């Protein structure tokens, strides 16, 4: 996936997000307004376009290529804001980065699976589980097999 590299993210993780978001259906639309393969919300697409120095266009943001570029850029943006921890960033992609931070432990690091179980939103909790499982499968398919325990890692304390 060519946009993963420029966004500084693992392609298997991007595929994991895309599968969970849209099941690879480019015309997917959610009941809350997210659209495309990466299910980018309109306000998020505007934020991304602004940060990329582009003029926002709803039709372009929903096109397959741009939607993937926007989604992977946003994944990288969230990842950099959340300690480069993919589990935190996955929760942030689904529920917003501020919620992902709010769920971080206050004192001391914890295993990522403990963090996932502490996520307050059931939809996000299940989303993170599925994305990380998907990413583990895609890493194997891409010839970069990585155990899920290694992929998940630990969640640092909020600071």
Confirm whether 133 is a catalytic residue: no
Residue 29 phi/psi, 5° resolution? Answer: -135, 135
Distance CA 26, CA 33 (A): 14
Could you say which DSSP state residue 103 is in?
T
Residue 50 phi/psi, 5° resolution? Answer: -60, -45
80, 91, 89, 83: which is closest to 7 by C-alpha?
Answer: 80
112, 146, 130: which is closest to 11 by C-alpha?
Answer: 146
Distance CA 70, CA 42 (A): 11
Catalytic residue among 21, 54, 117, 133: 21
As annotated, the active-site residues are: 21
């Amino acid at each position: 996936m060519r946009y993963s590299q420029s966004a500084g993210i693992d392609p298997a993780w991007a595929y994991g997000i895309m599968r969970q978001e849209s099941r690879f259906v480019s015309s997917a639309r959610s009941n809350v307004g997210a659209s495309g393969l990466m299910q980018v919300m309109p306000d998020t697409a505007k934020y991304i376009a602004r940060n990329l120095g582009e003029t926002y266009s709803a039709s372009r943001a929903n096109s397959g290529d741009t939607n993937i570029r926007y989604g992977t850029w946003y994944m990288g943006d969230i990842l950099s804001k959340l300690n480069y921890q993919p589990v935190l960033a996955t929760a942030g992609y689904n529920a917003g980065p501020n919620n992902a931070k709010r769920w971080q432990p206050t004192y001391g690091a914890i295993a990522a699976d403990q963090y996932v179980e502490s996520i307050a939103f059931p939809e996000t909790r299940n989303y993170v589980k599925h994305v990380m499982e998907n990413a583990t499968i895609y890493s194997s398919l891409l010839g970069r097999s990585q155990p899920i325990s290694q992929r998940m890692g630990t969640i640092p304390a909020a600071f």
